[in-house]
Amino acid sequence: MRQAGRSLPEYRAVRAGIGMLEACTTPDLVAEITAQPVRRHGVDAGILFSDIVTPLYVAGVDVEIRTGVGPVFVDPVTDDAALARLVAHGPADLTVITEAARLAAAAIPVPLIGFAGAPFTLAAYAVEGRSSRDHLAARTLMHAEPDLWDRLMTWMADQSGAFLAAQVAGGAQAVQLFDSWAGSLSAADYRRFAAPYSARAISWVRGQVPVVHFGTGTGEILTDMRDVGADVVGVDYRIPLDEASRRLGGRTPVQGNIDPALLAAPWPVLEGHVRDVVARGAAAPAHVVNLGHGVPPSTDPDVLTRLVDLVHTL
């Protein structure tokens, strides 16, 4: 349950007065926040507390996380000059991330999962300057300036790949590549402008640990997301798991896909939904149960604990 900590009072207490990216680069705080939902809910793995722009921040890129907005880039990549300023930042020294992963792995009695943002999602933020509903600027740039787009995406892929590798070096036993905005692309555009760079990022850790590849609204590109080198494909709440497994040929483990919106519904409604998700997941050769796209901060923690208990009985 990614972002499960956001709903916990103990999380809000330790984060008080500390910015998101500062917290993500303070190893002992990362370890504590990673461990909190494991202790509280009894989940089967912990997800390293971090953010997809953390490696860029460590590299010196002028990026911040604004409450209610998300990542904001002070110098959006709109032309060659802006790209030159971005890539002038050399490879980040990710020692602090390896140390954070090491402490987090030692703090929990279950496996640690690392993660990184996929190159397209990071590039979309960098080009738009912040979150966007349709990523028009990024989608225009890839077609209008394909060489610039290639240089941007190659740089982003290596930042993501190095970030994953640093977490594995610290003890992460699996990793997940998040392509939150891949669903905004047509299948053809995904294959041409995104997939090769996700493959490059995954290549940094492929064969070392299992890799999960997740995006939202990606029902039409599930096989493409698998074929970049993923062992498991994450599915959001928009597509039933049995249908996702069928599209994947019935041979790929799936992850998903409890709808976060139902966490606030009456328990019988949520229970019925969870049972349906687990039943549909049986169509795949293996199924990792989780939320479609993170835990809303307003979620009642007791509901999450009850949900975990229910899944364990199933």
Question: pLDDT tens digit string along 237-258?
Answer: 999 999 999 999 999 999 999 9
Give the list of residues 6+ apart from residue 44 with CB closer than 8 angstroms, or none.
110, 111
User: Does residue 204 carry a pLDDT above 70?
Assistant: yes
Question: Encoding tokens for residue 73?
Answer: 């880039």
Q: Which of 219-250 are b and which e, b meaning 16 or more Cβ less than 10 Å from the residue's Cβ?
A: bebbebbbbbbbbbbbbbbbbbbbebbebbee
Mean pLDDT, to the nearest integer, of 10-37?
95
Cis before residue 257, ω within 30 degrees of 0? yes
Residue with tokens 């050399």: 90
DSSP state of 258: B
- Name residue 234's beta-bridge partners: 214, 255
172 vs 136: CA distance, rounded Å: 35
99 vs 29: CA distance, rounded Å: 11
- In order, the DSSP letters of 79-135 are SHHHHHHHHTS----THHHHHHHHHHHHH-SS-EEEEEE-HHHHHHHHHHSS--SS-
Q: What is the pLDDT of residues 88-117, one digit of tens each?
A: 998 889 999 999 999 999 999 999 999 999
Entry pTM: 0.95
CATH of 4-313, one of 3.40.309.10, 3.20.20.210, 3.40.50.1000, 3.40.50.720: 3.20.20.210
Domain definitions of the chain by residue range: 4-313
Compute CA 92 distance to the chain's CA centroid, rounded to the nearest angstrom. 20
